[in-house]
């Protein structure tokens, strides 16, 4: 082994060790770093337009873009989270006091079903009404109790949250200001052909923007519409159901129907015909239309991935990375497809002996 080859391998080993150590140091604040990168990519086009308008004064433009980002993307999330915690605390008190009898609703729903479906539930092991009622009531109580506990113990995690939030904003400012230069340095370090690196960077940026802007816009729209119809029909805890529908809307093809469809069926079986009909029509032709029309335009068109791949990668990302996974999952899937496309395209050009 030559001396230059030994030096190269030693440098490569040192580079790997230092990189792993750096990642280990950043792990406690990976969420702050992750969302700073994501928001910088999403707001980069706005940053470029403002740079042209304000004669390339980068600090001023970065500060202005950061302010817009806070108003549009950050403050609404904080306000909704606070309201959701309050709603959870209120729901927990209603369940504990007996004002909201979930077990009674479950019992009433089962007895309204036709005999065939009741027999089918018995065969599936779901006919034990007492056990089913206890399980559902316990789950609802635990969920609302968790939200309620967050309302009373929020101060315990306030310092950590504020530190992460400050780090995210601090990094976001510099990523907005120096993002293009950082991207060029990263691209220069990747040992691929220039057109391949450009393809991967384009795919990365496109998927991030489509996933964040598209999925969030669809989720917010469906959650708002679902919450509005629940409020109109006087369904308790409309805000809580709205947030749940918005979260489930991140899953294509499944979406908010998991929430509103059972409620519509319950209305129809309980004799509240007009409420059930209104909720069913609104869910299919308004809430469902948002998913069928907006999602392909905002998400599928830019990511160029089939719906089934978006669905499974989103589910897998949420399972592995938590809430951040709704971005990380599709991003990994898109880079997986792009890398294989590059490999296959390169392999076709290789002349085998």
Q: What is the mean pLDDT of residues 85-105?
A: 65
- Res. 120: pLDDT tops 80: no
Q: Both tokens of residue 316?
A: 């897998």
Q: Is the pLDDT of residue 137 over 60?
A: no
Radius of gyration of the chain (CA): 25
d(CA 192, CA 199): 11
Among candidate residues 42, 81, 47, the one with its CA nearest the CA of residue 64: 47
Per-residue pLDDT band for 156 (boundaries 50, 70, 90) equals: very low
Kindly tell me if the per-residue pLDDT of 158 is higher than 70. Answer: no
Rounded mean pLDDT of 259-283? Answer: 85
Q: Which pLDDT score, from 0 to 100, does residue 154 have?
A: 44
Share the mean pLDDT of the chain. Answer: 76
- 286 pLDDT exceeds 80? yes
**Percent of the residues in the chain that have a pLDDT greater than 70, as a whole number:** 72
| pLDDT on residue 352 | 36
Which tens digit of pLDDT belongs to each residue from 252-270? 666 778 888 888 887 887 7
pLDDT given for residue 173 in this prediction: 92
Residue 170, pLDDT score? 92
Per-residue model confidence as pLDDT tens digits over 288-298? 887 777 766 66
| 251 pLDDT higher than 50 | yes
Span 156-171, mean pLDDT? 78
Model confidence at 75: pLDDT above 60: yes
Confidence (pTM): 0.71
Which whole number is the average pLDDT over 231-237? 85
Share of residues in the chain with pLDDT > 90 (%):
5
Phi-psi region of 236 (alpha: psi -120 to 50; beta: other; left: phi over 0): beta
User: Is 281's pLDDT higher than 80?
Assistant: yes
Residue with the bigger pLDDT between 185 and 210: it is 185
C-alpha angle 110-269-254 in degrees, rounded to nearest 5: 85
Rounded distance, CA 314 to CA 145, Å?
28
The pLDDT tens digits of the residues spanning 59-68 come to 888 899 999 9
| Spatial separation of the C-alpha atoms in residues 232 and 229, rounded to whole Å | 5
């Amino acid at each position: 082994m030559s001396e230059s080859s030994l030096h190269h391998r030693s440098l490569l080993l040192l580079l790997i060790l230092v990189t792993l150590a750096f990642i280990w140091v950043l792990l406690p604040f990976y969420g702050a770093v992750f969302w700073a990168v994501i928001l910088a990519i999403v707001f980069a086009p706005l940053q470029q337009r403002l740079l042209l308008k304000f004669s390339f004064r980068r600090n001023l433009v970065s500060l202005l873009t950061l302010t817009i980002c806070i108003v549009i993307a950050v403050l609404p999330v904080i306000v909704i989270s606070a309201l959701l915690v309050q709603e959870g605390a209120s729901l927990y008190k209603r369940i504990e006091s007996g004002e909201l009898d979930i077990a009674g609703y479950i019992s009433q729903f089962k007895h309204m079903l036709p005999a065939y479906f009741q027999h089918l539930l018995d065969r599936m092991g779901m006919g034990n009404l007492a056990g089913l009622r206890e399980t559902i009531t316990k789950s609802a109580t635990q969920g609302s109790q968790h939200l309620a506990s967050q309302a009373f113990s929020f101060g315990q995690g306030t310092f950590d949250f504020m530190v992460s939030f400050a780090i995210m904003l601090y990094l976001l400012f510099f990523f907005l200001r120096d993002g293009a230069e950082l991207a060029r340095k990263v691209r220069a370090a990747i040992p691929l052909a220039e057109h391949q690196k450009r393809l991967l960077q384009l795919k990365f940026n496109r998927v991030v923007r489509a996933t964040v802007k598209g999925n969030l816009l669809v989720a917010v729209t469906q959650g708002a519409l679902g919450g509005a119809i629940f409020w109109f029909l006087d369904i308790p805890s409309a805000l809580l159901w709205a947030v749940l529908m918005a979260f489930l809307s991140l899953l294509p093809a499944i979406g908010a129907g998991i929430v509103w469809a059972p409620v519509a069926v319950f209305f129809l079986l309980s004799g509240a015909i007009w409420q059930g009909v209104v909720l069913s029509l609104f869910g299919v032709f308004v809430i469902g239309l948002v998913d069928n029309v907006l999602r392909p335009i905002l998400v599928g068109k830019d990511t160029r991935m089939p719906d089934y791949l978006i669905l499974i990668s989103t589910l897998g990302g949420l399972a592995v990375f938590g809430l951040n996974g709704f971005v990380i999952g599709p991003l990994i899937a898109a880079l997986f497809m792009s890398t294989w496309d590059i490999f296959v395209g390169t392999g076709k050009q290789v002349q085998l002996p």
